């Protein structure tokens, strides 16, 4: 699909009231929450590593290149292990999503939560931030496989430059009368979520240090459990029980056990 076509579909999908469904809005909110998680952990990485981010591998790549040029091998090592952790997380998330089938969304979120919890455990055990941040980097790699793009928009992505480019284009389209406010709001939501998450990460890091990583770990784990509930409700065992209740005259969700008095 061409970039122009993707942008047109994004504008159509977000500016048409008929196409903005509950499912789409839910995915956009989830994407915003996950982007906030990325901002949160990036703030901790930025503070602890002196300017390196946990989810933006552009910074790690530049650090690697500068280290090679200046002969600073510590910077080279840090850049390499961070990039390897990120790519490894993307690889694991991709494989798990394929293997898990309909359980892909909660399974990949749970994997991300486990990585974040592991980072919090390392930080609480006295490991340096340079080491304990590596599972966080892996978690951010996993996160980039959670949500597929919706109408050309990347949701839950851990890098925001592309979102700002899309926001600028949407603003230009709006000024030309070719796009409405929904498209602008959708891109602004993702950017605002990253900034808000980074602010929260900085505040909690100042209060409890790297142990602040327990907050995104618990948040992502909660999202994983919530996303599993509708799938559990559609399992064969649950369906069989509902059918058995119906055959024996028992209450079902459509047939409440307490009837209104007539």
Distance CA 88, CA 60 (A): 15
Which residue in 84, 89, 81, 92 sits closest to 49, CA to CA? 81
Distance CA 29, CA 6 (A): 21
The mean-pLDDT minimum among 136-150, 190-204, 206-220, 240-254 falls in 240-254
In contact, 139 and 109? CB cutoff 8 Å: no
Band of pLDDT at residue 51, cut at 50, 70 and 90 = confident
In contact, 251 and 245? CB cutoff 8 Å: yes
Question: Which of 53-57, 92-96, 152-156 is the most confident on average?
Answer: 92-96
| Predicted TM-score of the model (pTM) | 0.77
pLDDT reported for residue 164: 87
Query: pLDDT tens for residues 103-149?
Result: 999 999 999 999 999 999 998 898 988 899 999 999 999 999 987 76
pLDDT reported for residue 80: 95
| pLDDT higher than 70, residue 196 | yes
Mean pLDDT of the chain: 81
């Amino acid at each position: 699909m061409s970039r122009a076509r993707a942008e047109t579909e994004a504008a159509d999908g977000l500016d048409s009231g008929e196409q903005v469904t509950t499912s789409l809005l839910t995915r956009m909110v989830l994407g915003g929450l996950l982007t906030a998680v990325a901002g949160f952990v990036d703030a901790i990485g930025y503070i602890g590593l002196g300017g390196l981010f946990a989810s933006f591998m552009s910074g790690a790549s530049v650090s690697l290149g500068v280290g090679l040029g200046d002969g600073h091998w510590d910077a080279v090592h840090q850049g390499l292990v961070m990039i390897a952790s990120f790519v490894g997380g993307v690889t694991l998330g991709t494989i798990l999503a394929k293997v898990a089938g309909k359980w892909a969304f909660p399974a990949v979120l749970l994997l991300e939560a486990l990585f974040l919890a592991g980072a919090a455990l390392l930080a609480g055990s006295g490991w340096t931030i340079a080491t304990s941040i590596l599972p966080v980097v892996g978690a951010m790699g996993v996160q980039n496989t959670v949500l597929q793009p919706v109408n050309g928009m990347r949701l839950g992505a851990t890098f925001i430059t592309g979102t700002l480019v899309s926001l600028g284009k949407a603003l230009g389209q709006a000024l030309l009368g070719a796009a409405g406010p929904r498209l602008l709001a959708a891109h602004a939501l993702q950017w605002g979520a990253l900034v808000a998450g980074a602010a929260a990460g900085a505040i909690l890091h100042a209060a409890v240090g790297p142990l602040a990583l327990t907050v995104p770990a618990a948040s992502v784990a909660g999202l994983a459990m919530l996303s599993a509930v509708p799938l559990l409700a559609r399992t064969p065992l649950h369906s069989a029980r509902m059918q058995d209740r119906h055959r024996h005259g028992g209450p079902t969700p459509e047939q409440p056990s307490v009837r209104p008095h007539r």
